Every structure is written in C-alpha cells, then in structure tokens.
Structure 1
Amino acid sequence: MKHDLELRLSQLITDYAGKKVSVNLTVPPNSQFGHYSTNIALILAKTLGKSGQKIAQELKDSITASKEKELEYIAEVSIAGLGFINFRLTQEALIKNTQTILAEAQNYGKPLKAPKKTIIVEFGHPNSHKMMHIGHLRNLTTGEAIIRLLEFVGYNAVRANYQGDVGMHIAKCLYGLQLPEFAEAYQQALSETIHEQVALLGKAYAAGSKAFEENDQIKQAIGEINKQIYKKDKKIWNIYQTTRKWSLDYFELIYKRLYVHYDRYYFESEVYQSGKKYVEEALNVGVFEKSDGAIIFPGKKYGLHNRVFVTSEGNATYEAKDLGLGALQLKEYNPDQIIHIVGPEQAGYFQVIFEALDRVWPGTKDKEMHLIYGFVQLKSGKMSSRTGNVVTAWWLLEAAKQEIINILESNTSNYTKEQQSDIAEKAGVAAIKYG
C-alpha cells in the first residue's frame, strides 16, 4: 500500500510542480500525526518560490479533491509545522492491507521479478584457537539479516565466512599448550567436551600471548612454531589439526543456535600462497614496491596509506591473503558485488585492499563493499582475547536463556522443563538479535 501511495502521490505532485518528483513516505515518530508523512512541500519550496506551508495547503487541496483509486486509501490529510504533510489511512484500507499480508504470508513484499545478480555476503570471521565473543554475535546477526533480505528479493546471495586458521595467534596458543600447566590438561581435553576443549584453547592463547610479550627468546620460539604451521611440519601438525577442529566444531554450535549457515567457508590457509604469488607478479609490473626488504602497496600515491603485503622474511600478511581471497571469490562466483561485513576499525584497511585489488585486476573495486556496523565494547573498553578480557558468545546465549527460564518458572508455568528450555532458547536468541 505504501508503494502504491508513493507512486500516485509522485504523479500528482509532478503535475503540480511541472517537473518529475519522487515522494518518499515515512512513518511519523508520533502516531497522532497519522500513518505516513512527507516533507516534499519543504523540498519544493526552494524551487517554486513559495513557502512550504502554502505548497502543503495546495497539495492537500489537490489530494483531497482527487478521485484516484489509490488516494481513496487516505481518510485525512493534515499539515504540521513549516509544511509537513501527514496522512491518516481509512480503516477499510488498513483491514484490506492486513488481509493481503496474511494471504501472501512470507511472500508479502517480494518483487515479481528477481534481480539477475550474484552477491557474496562475507560475515562471521572468527579466528580458530580463539573464543567467539559478543562482537562476533553482532557481526553474525548483521550478516544474517542482510543475506536474508537479499535472498528474499531474489538475489543469488552467497553466504561466505572467511576465517583465520593460520598466523601468530595460533602459534601463541600452541606454545601455551606446551607449557607445563597446560600440557597435561591438553591430553585430558582429548576426551572432554567441546566446551572444555575451547576453554583450554582460550587459556593457552592468553598464556602464550603473555609469554610472547615478556621474553624475546619465547617470542622467537613462537615465531618458529608459526613457520612450522605454514610448512605443515610433522612436529606440530597433529596438535594443530586437532585444535583447529575443536574451534571449528565449536563455531558450528553457535551458528546453529543463531540459525546461521554458510555456502562457502574460506580460510587464510587456502589463500596465503596465491596471495603472495599475485603480489610478487604485480611487483614486476609496478603495482607494488620494495621497501626495506618487504613488498608494500604504495597507497599514498592514491590518497591512502602504504601497507606491507609481504614481509622482509617473505611471509604473506593479512593484506596479501585478502588479495588471494578476492581473486578466489571472483573466480568461483563471478559476483556482481562482494559485501564484507566488518567493524569500523577496518575502514582504512579495506580502502587500501580494494585499491590494490583494482590495480591488479582493473574493474574489481566497484564490486567490493565494506559494510560498517558499530563497535561492541565493554564498559572498561575494547575486548581482548590476548588478555582473556572477553565476553564469550556462548556465555551471553546461555545467560539470556537462563533469564527467560527464571521468568517462566516464577510465573508457575504449566510448561514442562523441555518446553521451557525450547521457549527460552528461541526467545533468548531473539532478544540478543533484535532486543
């Protein structure tokens, strides 16, 4: 109904103004002003040389006198302030619209013709060997909402998740597991629950990170572990694979609780080699430059900032991996757009990545989009897995569920324990997502 009204009002006001006008109806913050409102009179005042109130009154008279079928939905037109036009709909129109919504159910609002475009929505992004926290919940909720909207209107929407399963954070965790206080606990964890296993990884990562900061010799040892992971060294490969699986299995439990699923999981381990290769090839044609033994992208040339893509030791950085990821996504899906759902702290990073991609493969920058959402912080500041200062996703899901169980029990509910648990699970997830 809103769309129909906008179309008819746009035509009527176009005839009035003598030029093409598009009306956008909004819902007033206070219901006393009606069901819909528009500021079109204020917009036209600048070009027609009349006051917003005068234009609003003239438009009100035209709308009231109109015999257009769609405008019969309007029971009352009123003017507020400097020229806002408010509309109150007829009871008949509201009933008819409600009946249409009930009849069309989940198809209500779906366009008749689906857009023939492919869009990759990349969201989630948890790193293995680290706990998934409430920041990830925000990301997953945002990503799932965006992908469902795209799917609803008919896009070929691809659900993608890019996860860090190699890097120094894993080396720190594996070093921590080798410390005396964790070595025996690791052996015991092999036969324990997934929750106990990932809790151990969190503690080991915090311990490894602390040791890394305090001792240069340990820092060097952790660097060696990192190299062993990349080389798939037999000394470390078994424990790496085991603990990686713990993390990924744990993440799946959270995805399931949030009703999230994916079409494609990307991992840093599958793109770092190709990313490095693309950087070295593009170095030969002047896209990248050498600097102190490293290979950098000269972002300053393009009003951005320089970033290292390959270190002086020959290791691919996050930037090079993202180059490899972009190439793989373009090859696999030939998408019209790739939406990266990542927090605002990475805005500058993505500007450089998109520019570098476009310099290597011209025309790709227009396909890339960084969709920014707000920060998730504790009262004490930013969360840190390195120090163990995080609120985990699982804890919050459980806490919300328990609060609702407490309410059900206090109201002497007739539900069984199983029914209470089911209701609390669904309501708790909904509260976290949309509350």
Structure 2
Amino acid sequence: MDKVRKSINKIINEYLDQEIETIFTRPEPEFGDLSTNIALQLAKKLNKNPKQIANDLAELLSKELSGIILKVSVAGPGFINIVLVDDILLDQLRADVPATDRSEQVVIIETNNPNPFKAMHVGHAYNSIMSDTIANLIENSGKQVHRVSYHGDVGTHVGKSMYSLLKYVDGNPDKLNDIKPSERNSFMSKMYSDGAKAYNNDEYTKNKIVELAKQSFTRDDPIYQQVYEMCKQWSFDQIDDILKRIGSKPVERKFLESEANDEGVAIVKANVPDVFTESDGALVFQGSKHGSFDNVFVSKQGIGLYGARDLGLIKLKDQYCHPQKSYIVTAEEQRDYFKGVIAAAELCMPRFKDITVNIPTGMVKLSTGKMSSRTGDVVEISWLFDQIAAAIVDRGGTPNDLFIAGVLRYQFLKVRVGGDVIFDINEAVSIEGNSGPYLQYAHARASSILSKANNIPSSISNIETSERMLVVKLTEYQDVILRSTNELLPHLICTYLYELSQEFNRFYEKNRVIGDSRQNQRLFLVRKYANTLKNGLHLLGIFAPDKM
C-alpha cells in the first residue's frame, strides 16, 4: 500500500511543482479506500478554490494512474476520495513478507539490565519487554541483532545489600542455605530495602556502607566474598527465570560493571584535560555544555562511577561485535545522563559517533504510584505475576506463563514509547477491549473457523463490497510494520492489530463463511487475518493460541 500512496503522491507533487507529503486517511466505506484533504491544505498557498484544486487533481489521478485507481471523487469543500483497483488490493494481500530495510547492519541492544542484589521490579520488566520487542522489530528487518545485558555488580547498591546480608549471616554464610529458592527474590528485595534505609539513617552507617561498596571491587574478605558470590548468582538465576516468564528472548552476553570499570577509568584518564577536567581530585565531564549536566566520572579516590563504566561498556561492546548501532532502553529520568555519556564517548572516541542511541521510556504506575529503586520501596514483578494470575482465575480462566506474559507485554507495549503506563490489572486481563487476551481470543476464534474447513485456497481473484474493508485493513500490515521498525514504535503494531480484529468482527457479523457460496474466498480472508494477527503478536513476543 505504501507504493500505491507514493505513486499518488508523485502525481500530486508534479501537479503542484513542489515536494509535499500527502497524508492519506481511511474514509467511510461508501467514500472509498483512501482519502486526502491536500486540496484544503493548499488552497490558501496556491490562492485557488480548494474544490477546484481537488477536481483538477482528481482528473489528473484518474488519467495518470488508471491501472491503480478505479475511481476518484471529490466530496464536500475539497476532500479527494480514491477507490483502488481490486487487483492492486489483491496484490498487496498476496505479499506475505513485509517490505523492510534488509540491510546487513550489525546492531547491539541491551534487553535486560536489572542489577543483582535487588529484586527485579515492574519497571525492570517493562524496559526488558520494550527492548526485547524493539530487538524483534530490528531483527525482522534483516539486521544482525545481538541481545546483551548490563548489570551493576559493584558500587553503592551492592554496599547497601551487603550491609544487610552480612548482618543476617552474622559470620556464618551457610545461613543463606536456609532461604528457599522461591523466597530468594523477596529476600534480596528486603536486604536491599533495609540497607537503603540504613544508608539514610546516620552518618556512621552511611560510611560503613560506603566502605562495603568499595569492597565490592576487591572482595578480599572471605566471608564477604562467599556471601557476595552466592547472592549474585541467586540474582542472576532470578533474572534469567523472570526473563523467560515475561516472554523475552535470552541474552547472548552478560556485561558487568566490574569488567567495564577499568576500561572506563583508562578512557577518562587518557582524555584529561581535553574532555574531562579535574575538580577536587575528581574527574568531571562538563555535560552542561552538551544538553546534560556536569557529572563526576571518576571519584577523587580513583574509582570509576557510572559514567566511566558506561564509557568502558561502549568499548567492550565494540570489541564484542563492532556494532553500527547500539540501543539502550532506559527510564525517562536517565535521558539527560545518557546525553552526557554519549557526548563524552564521541569526544573521547570519535569513531563511535552516532552509534549509541538512548531510548527513554515512561514510568509504570500502579495503585501505589511509580516504583522507586533508590529508596528500596518497589513493586516486585513476581507480585504482579501473582495479581494477574488471580485476576485470570476470577474470570474463570486457567493462568499459565504464556498467557500472563501476553497480558503483561501487551499492556506495556500498547503505550507509545516515552509515555507512562497506567497498569490496570482488570483491564489487562479482559477479553474485551484493547488487551492482549482480546487479541489472543481473536486468533483462537479465527483458528476455530479454519478448523471446520477442508480446503483453503492459496489466493482469490475478486472482492465483494462486504469484504472490502477487511481487505483494505489487511493490506496496511506491511506499512505498519515498516513504520514501527523505522521509528522503533511497537505501539503502532498494537493499535493496528486491535483495529484489524475490530474490522474482522464487523466482517464476520455480516458475512457467513462456512456454507456460503463464497466460502473459499472468505476462508482465504480468515486465514490471512489469522496469519496477520499471529505474525504481529509474534513480533510483540506474544503467543497466539489456536484455542482458549
């Protein structure tokens, strides 16, 4: 359909003798397949009556694109309505593979970044689902995608958790063996929360936690080392398990802050005073000159902070796969921080210019408000799993991880990247309205219709009026996938699939399929619809069931 629009747009531009992007919308069925108000937009600029412009364009389009356009009409003050030739729609319908870039570009994307020594919370799951879906879109376009993760295994947050953990074991690390695997996520959440609160209680405790944070780099105390390694492994086991439960693909490489630290510190020190300046012994990047804020990359004690480690990570990623693009999906509140990191990286290592891209997301809000990791008061993802499962049971359903992942992913992905997600559990599990279960049920319903047929044709040669709107909507799939991929906006697919399922419902209410004289043609449309739903849901990482 994109090629059709471009052909029409080309004729309009030739008439106007200027480049202008014509926006097309879908009119009511009785008016046609495409509509544009370009004549109304240009009337003042051309000093002409909009209806006259519309009539001129209608005549020109009918003449020049007779193989594409069946009919052009002008309505109201100057709306141009276009009916396409059936064969054009049918050609679009037969094209199974979306038109995509297909370049051989190498892309790396961080798809799972929760830190060990904390419980994985809802915000972590949101960013993981969003980045995993963006990776799906990029991969679908033919690019070589490397899914990786980056985890903070050193630093202040480790010190906070270790403060509580060392108090808990009281010199006997074997006490940790009493914690059941099913309780470890909540246990680690409590340890971090207690440590975070203790950090703010008094100066003595704060200094003790600072020392424990420094020790995360050296780990020269045997008890510290044993507790650290055991709890870090617990954390990664939990992270990997939750990654499966939310339907995200596994990562191929885990990068750690501890390995990025030395690389980053070396980069910073090598770029003093050209990029970094010394201030009270610390090395500072003047990010305020680059749309960010002034930020300490290396402390006066010579320890690399977040910025230095992120510089080291950029270098490690390059050593790993030499990416042409590197995507990092983070919360909106880190936008300015990453502006500074990216600016510093490009000044220190010009060969990495325009490679790293930060994609900021909004917040996830529940009834308790947004989740905070710094205070330790978080909504664990395991809690949300349980709430979704309970809501499914309340509606007479049987919860499993595939369906829970579908609920979670769709509720996150249907919101435009950067917008806040207001997570309503009852809305999320409903089989009515714009939800994951609604689309899963829609696919199961179509599969049920297809199961009653013996033979389904591989193509059709004509369209009836009552089938036309479904056909037109089906032909939009390629354009939606292309735009969603180019702009990295998964919500466009969600919106399209929901609108498509509504269009199918209208079609099915008016048209008998099995036993009708047009059974074969309509079975083809039902199968095309089911496959389109399945492919779209697959890109979103959502299971499309044949039965529900």
Specify whether residues 395 and 297 from structure 1 end up closer, same or farther in structure 2 by C-alpha distance, changes over 3 A only. same
Specify whether residues 403 and 188 from structure 1 end up closer, same or farther in structure 2 by C-alpha distance, changes over 3 A only. farther
Any unmatched runs of 5+ in structure 2? 415-434, 436-548
Mean CA deviation greater in 155-164 or 145-154: 155-164
Give the % identical residues. Answer: 30
Residues 1:270 and 2:259 aligned together: yes
2:544 counterpart residue number = none
- 1:185 and 1:201 map into 2 onto residues whose CA distance is 17
Residues 1:246 and 2:245 aligned together: no
Residues 1:55 and 2:53 aligned together: yes
1:333 counterpart residue number = 321
1:428 counterpart residue number = 407
Task: Give the secondary structure class of the aligned counterpart of 2:296.
Answer: strand
Task: Give the secondary structure class of the aligned counterpart of 1:309.
Answer: strand
Letter paired with 2:56 = E
- Asked if the contact 2:103/2:143 (under 8 Å) is kept, the reply is yes
Q: 2:200 aligns with which of 213, 221, 226?
A: 213
Specify whether residues 52 and 393 from structure 1 end up closer, same or farther in structure 2 by C-alpha distance, changes over 3 A only. farther
Specify whether residues 83 and 375 from structure 1 end up closer, same or farther in structure 2 by C-alpha distance, changes over 3 A only. farther
Specify whether residues 302 and 19 from structure 1 end up closer, same or farther in structure 2 by C-alpha distance, changes over 3 A only. closer
Letter paired with 1:392 = E
Residues 1:353 and 2:351 aligned together: no
Task: Give the secondary structure class of the aligned counterpart of 2:251.
Answer: coil
Q: 2:98 aligns with which of 109, 112, 126?
A: 109
Provide the TM-score with structure 1 as the length reference: 0.84
Q: 1:69 aligns with which of 67, 70, 87?
A: 67
Task: Give the secondary structure class of the aligned counterpart of 1:296.
Answer: strand
1:146 counterpart residue number = 134
1:196 counterpart residue number = 183
Task: Give the secondary structure class of the aligned counterpart of 1:320.
Answer: helix
Letter paired with 1:360 = C
Letter paired with 2:202 = N
Letter paired with 1:317 = L
1:353 CA drift (Å): 0.9
1:349 CA drift (Å): 0.9
- Asked if the contact 1:8/1:71 (under 8 Å) is kept, the reply is no
Matches within 5 A, 1:50-199: 50-72=48-70, 77-79=73-75, 83-87=78-82, 97-98=92-93, 100=94, 104=96, 108-111=97-100, 114-179=102-167, 187-199=174-186
Task: Give the secondary structure class of the aligned counterpart of 2:327.
Answer: strand
- 1:223 and 1:31 map into 2 onto residues whose CA distance is 67
Mean CA deviation greater in 31-40 or 344-353: 31-40
- 1:367 and 1:423 map into 2 onto residues whose CA distance is 35
Specify whether residues 52 and 46 from structure 1 end up closer, same or farther in structure 2 by C-alpha distance, changes over 3 A only. same
Letter paired with 1:333 = C
- 1:270 and 1:51 map into 2 onto residues whose CA distance is 68
- Asked if the contact 1:120/1:337 (under 8 Å) is kept, the reply is yes
Q: Deviations over 1:187-214 (max 9, x none)?
A: 4542544331121111111111111111
1:153 CA drift (Å): 1.1
Specify whether residues 375 and 95 from structure 1 end up closer, same or farther in structure 2 by C-alpha distance, changes over 3 A only. same
- 1:34 and 1:423 map into 2 onto residues whose CA distance is 40
- Asked if the contact 1:5/1:71 (under 8 Å) is kept, the reply is no
- 1:144 and 1:193 map into 2 onto residues whose CA distance is 30
Task: Give the secondary structure class of the aligned counterpart of 1:389.
Answer: coil
1:412 counterpart residue number = none
1:401 CA drift (Å): 2.9
- 1:427 and 1:119 map into 2 onto residues whose CA distance is 26
Number of equivalent positions: 412
1:403 CA drift (Å): 1.9
Letter paired with 2:228 = Y
Matches within 5 A, 1:245-394: 245-260=233-248, 261-283=250-272, 285-302=273-290, 304-379=292-367, 381-394=369-382
Letter paired with 1:421 = N
Q: What is the root-mean-square deviation in Å for CA atoms of aligned residues?
A: 2.9
Q: 1:222 aligns with which of 206, 209, 213?
A: 209
1:268 CA drift (Å): 0.8
Letter paired with 2:235 = S
Letter paired with 1:10 = N
2:7 counterpart residue number = 8
Task: Give the secondary structure class of the aligned counterpart of 1:325.
Answer: helix
Task: Give the secondary structure class of the aligned counterpart of 2:165.
Answer: helix
1:232 counterpart residue number = 219
- Asked if the contact 2:245/2:401 (under 8 Å) is kept, the reply is no
- Asked if the contact 1:287/1:297 (under 8 Å) is kept, the reply is yes
- Asked if the contact 1:159/1:264 (under 8 Å) is kept, the reply is yes
- 1:202 and 1:185 map into 2 onto residues whose CA distance is 20
2:426 counterpart residue number = none
- 2:41 and 2:173 map into 1 onto residues whose CA distance is 67
1:77 CA drift (Å): 4.3
Any unmatched runs of 5+ in structure 1? 410-416
Letter paired with 1:275 = G
- Asked if the contact 2:287/2:294 (under 8 Å) is kept, the reply is yes
1:356 CA drift (Å): 0.7
1:70 CA drift (Å): 2.3
Q: Deviations over 1:223-258 (max 9, x none)?
A: 221122101223311111110111111111111122
Specify whether residues 155 and 49 from structure 1 end up closer, same or farther in structure 2 by C-alpha distance, changes over 3 A only. farther
Q: Deviations over 1:342-376 (max 9, x none)?
A: 12211211111111111111242322222122222
Specify whether residues 280 and 430 from structure 1 end up closer, same or farther in structure 2 by C-alpha distance, changes over 3 A only. closer
